[in-house]
Amino acid sequence: MPDGGALILVPTPAKSLGDYAAIVGTEIVDNLRARAERFRGARVLHVNSTSFGGGVAELLYTLVPLWRDLGVDTEWRVIHGTEPFFHATKALHNGLQGAPVPWTVEMRSHYLTVNEDNAEAFEGDYDFVVVHDPQPAGILTELIEDRGRPKGKWIWRCHIDLTSPHRPVWEFLEPFVRPYDAAIFTLGDYVPDGFSGPEIAVSCPTIDPLSLKNIPLDRAIVRQVLRRYGIDPGRPLAVQVSRYDPWKDPLGVIDAYRIVKREVPELQLALIASMASDDPEGWEYYRMTEEHRAGDPDVFLLSNLQDVGSLNVNAFQRAADVVIQKSVREGFGLVVAEALWKGKAVVGGDVGGIHLQIEDGRSGFLVDSVEACAARLLELLRNPSRAAAMGRAGRRRVRQRFLSTAQLSDELALLERLSG
Amino acid sequence: MPDGGALILVPTPAKSLGDYAAIVGTEIVDNLRARAERFRGARVLHVNSTSFGGGVAELLYTLVPLWRDLGVDTEWRVIHGTEPFFHATKALHNGLQGAPVPWTVEMRSHYLTVNEDNAEAFEGDYDFVVVHDPQPAGILTELIEDRGRPKGKWIWRCHIDLTSPHRPVWEFLEPFVRPYDAAIFTLGDYVPDGFSGPEIAVSCPTIDPLSLKNIPLDRAIVRQVLRRYGIDPGRPLAVQVSRYDPWKDPLGVIDAYRIVKREVPELQLALIASMASDDPEGWEYYRMTEEHRAGDPDVFLLSNLQDVGSLNVNAFQRAADVVIQKSVREGFGLVVAEALWKGKAVVGGDVGGIHLQIEDGRSGFLVDSVEACAARLLELLRNPSRAAAMGRAGRRRVRQRFLSTAQLSDELALLERLSG
């Protein structure tokens, strides 16, 4: 415990739900306010493992202040961890997604020690505690053992695809999450077979239309961002925003681009990723992707190393003639919602949360091979008005189901259930 | 030598000088084109140590494509280096700026080995070779020893303040830079006493008005960026954009803010930095600054870790009521030009390149203490129309002297001198 104290509070700037009324309509906002009335003054704590980087931090950055605006006394805290602990929980994460990772006695011991220490540092009484992902999941068990069951309802929010976990890893984790009052999964399919104990809820992640990734940008800036990276705004552009890893299939995206390029020689492709300096696998896969690019000057591999932040990603998505998300495995794939929200037709892998977002043939296309991906890309590039119509359909769908307000509604529904 | 080959070529997107005519006037652009005519087809190589991060890479990113647009066949290559080499050259850099660093036999040996290896990998004939900063400076000597003096004119471009270097370090470097045909320094003051051999030129760095850091942004985005970080766009804001290190005096900036805050209780302060993950000193100083902030919710310490890229820095500078650059030592301080270009009055430390940029009392104020800094900040916050007038004067000065086109002109002048 670096400073021997409580879990670290993450400050979040205030947000007003009223600002979202212009986007989703006042009726939805009024409804949220009315339903939240019974929880006014309730104390809610969110616990996760990091205050920046990654989708969970991004979600909490929006949702925590919106809950506060609803009158609920909401806090966000991150656990204290050690380097070997985070090394172990990275393996745990990959194992839960199905990778046959080693799960050694040392790793278990780091997991237990850090969860024990954080349970010991845990302070305060809450009406609801939402614990995100496996890293801090053990705190509840440690608390129960030390001090008896804490007050309030405890909710485990799992952001991971648990369809086919590596058994030893899930068998280790399962006893720690069983005592929760409720567990939230991203998709019904992700609830592990035979998992019982908590109330099960399903709620998908959402995007914040007022975040820097999604706010409107004017054309001049969009064009200037392209030029900064050497992309010609006057020529067609396909964009995929994803980490460099095999599940996102950047090599397959380049292959599909090459097929289309025979018909559309002017086509450019931008692959955009956030690279963590402590992620050697990501670097290795970046190197492979760079090799696969084979010096093609119309393929752009970009990352935060070239100063590609949220506003730039926003600009790239807006500049795209077509957006690709050719994942072969995907927790949810919020970049699809981000692109649809910008009125772009998306060609996406037929997996995970992507089919919830793309209605095949309506707001884009689902594909399961390089050839199918190429064929659909070509179809959209040749029919810009069809692509635009699909983009409009996608934007409507995102407005209904994948904006922050939809997630507030899901979370309210769970609090209502838990409060009888 | 990781791949045994030549120095690594850095690709840069094309730029057109014509786009700058709208900003600096067609006359200046036409003049550059006419003067460059005699160098059409000449081969020019720039060599430095990194293709991203840092001011030199940023300059080359603009200037290399503009030289190409002038018809000069310009390349940019980075040297191969090892970790101990970069560790040694960091000490070399600090030593040249006056820090009493250790400069051990091992460090000298890493410097020599990497420069030897890069000289061995050096290929091609150039009419002009521009070598930036101390890291690759030894290549020329190694080439001369191995193969005899290479063709073409060799120019050492020093971006460092050499006013009072740590003697052992400068005595080590000086023999390597003496054989150059020319040496360019940022300010006349920075030419070391008694340095002779190369032709001496003075040319300050400049900003690119069309880069993402400087392009116009509309108010809606500026406000949204502030909100993202919890800053109230309706309240006054002072901004300093700098690394967290003692030379930039972030602690003094906070002290000055506190004095002003007694009179302007609504004042907010944002300190914005780019943090390198491999810079333990930067982290340590960040921690000290955070401690000095003492939890003040109106002081914002931001960095690239919170997704603050160039566009965001641009937005912060535009949002500021007043910009601070309270350096106690400064190579040049291009952030001053960036702020002046955005029409902001700047309160800057009375050091280095800052007095070249701020005309005291005309485009901002030069200060040499916390109290003076506070007094000038208060003066500007209380006289917004005076601040705006100073900002306009600053913008005019930047247009005349500190835009990329001025640097092209300086560099052309040196090529003209060297070509007799």
Q: What is the pLDDT of residues B314-347, one digit of tens each?
A: 999 999 999 999 998 888 889 999 999 999 999 9
Q: Count of CB contacts below 8 A, A vs B?
A: 78
Residue numbers in chain A where pLDDT is lower than 70? 1-5, 275-280
The reply to whether residue A309 touches residue B305, judged by beta carbons under 8 angstroms, is no
Mean pLDDT of B64-68: 97
Contacts of A309 in chain B (CB under 8 A): 304, 307-312
What is the per-residue pLDDT for A217?
A: 92
Residues of chain A with Cβ-Cβ distance to B297 below 8 Å are 11
| The predicted structure's pLDDT at residue A276 | 60
Q: What is the 3-state secondary structure (H, E, C) of chain A?
A: CCCCCCCEECCCCCCCCHHHHHHHCHHHHHHHHHHHHHHCCCEEEEEECCCCCCHHHHHHHHHHHHHHHCCCEEEEEECCCCHHHHHHHHHHHHHHCCCCCCCCHHHHHHHHHHHHHHHHHCCCCCCEEEEECCCCCCHHHHHHHHHCCCCCEEEEEECCCCCCCCHHHHHHHHHHHCCCCEEEECCHHHCCCCCCCCEEEECCCCECCCCCCCCCCCHHHHHHHHHHCCCCCCCCEEEEECCCCHHHCHHHHHHHHHHHHHHCCCCEEEEEECCCCCCHHHHHHHHHHHHHHCCCCCEEEEEHHHCCCHHHHHHHHHHCCEEEECCCCCCCCHHHHHHHHCCCCEEEECCCCHHHHCCECCCEEEECCHHHHHHHHHHHHHCHHHHHHHHHHHHHHHHHHCEHHHHHHHHHHHHHHHCC
Task: State the smallest CA–CA distance between residue B151 and chain A in angstroms.
Answer: 30
Query: What whole-number percentage of chain B has pLDDT above 70?
Result: 97
Across-strand partners of B47?
B77, B131
pTM: 0.82
- The pLDDT confidence band at residue B35, using thresholds 50, 70 and 90, is very high
| Selection from A320, A342, A51 nearest residue A209 by Cα | A342
- pLDDT for residue B3 is more than 60: no
Read off the pLDDT of residues B343-376 as tens digits, 9 standing for 90 and up: 999 999 998 889 899 999 999 999 999 999 999 9
As a whole number of angstroms, the distance between CA A156 and CA A135 comes to 11
Name the pLDDT band for B304 (thresholds 50, 70, 90). Answer: confident
Residues of B in contact with A211 (CB under 8 A): 228
Query: Residue B27 corresponds to which amino acid?
Result: E
* pLDDT value of residue A3: 46
- The pLDDT, as a whole number, for residue A378 is 98
The domains located in chain A, with CATH, are 8-206+403-418 (3.40.50.2000), 219-401 (3.40.50.2000)
- Comparing alpha-carbon positions, the chain A residue that sits nearest to B295 is A11
Q: Is the pLDDT of residue B12 over 90?
A: no
| Residue ranges of chain A whose CB lies within 8 Å of a chain B CB | 11-15, 52, 210-212, 215-218, 220-221, 224-225, 227-231, 277-278, 297, 304-312
Six-digit token string for B40: 């059409």
Q: How far off is chain B from A295, nearest CA to CA, in Å?
A: 11
Q: Are A121 and A1 in contact (CB under 8 A)?
A: yes
pLDDT over 70 (residue B5) = no
Intra-chain end-to-end CA distance of chain A, in Å:
38
Give every CB contact of residue A182 below 8 A, 6+ residues apart in sequence.
A153, A154, A155, A156, A198, A199, A200, A201, A414, A417, A418
> Which pLDDT belongs to residue B74?
97
**pLDDT averaged over every residue in chain A:** 93
| Span B34-44, average pLDDT | 97
- The fraction of chain B above a pLDDT of 90, given in percent, is 79
CA distance A324 to chain B (A): 24
Q: Is the pLDDT of residue B232 over 90?
A: yes
| Res B279: pLDDT | 63
Interface test with B, best of A64, A212, A302 (most B CBs within 10 A): A212
The whole-number pLDDT of residue A2 equals 43
User: Cβ-count burial of B21 within 10 angstroms (0-12 exposed, 13-18 middle, 19+ buried)?
Assistant: middle
CB contact under 8 A, A224 and B230: no
Instruction: For residue A223, give the chain B residue with the closest CA.
Output: B212
SS3 call for B164: coil
Q: Do A215 and B217 touch (CB under 8 A)?
A: no
Please determine, for residue B403, whether its predicted confidence score (pLDDT) is greater than 90: yes
Smallest Cα distance from A163 to chain B, Å: 32
Residues of A in contact with B231 (CB under 8 A): 13
Percent with pLDDT over 90 in chain A? 79
Q: Among B52, B216, B312, select the one facing A309 at the smallest CB separation.
A: B312
Q: Would you state the pLDDT for residue B277?
A: 54
Helix (H) or strand (E) holding B309: none
CB-CB under 8 Å, A227 with B311: no
CB contact under 8 A, A309 and B311: yes
ipTM for the predicted complex: 0.72
> CB-based contacts of A67: which residues, under 8 Å, 6+ apart?
A44, A74, A408
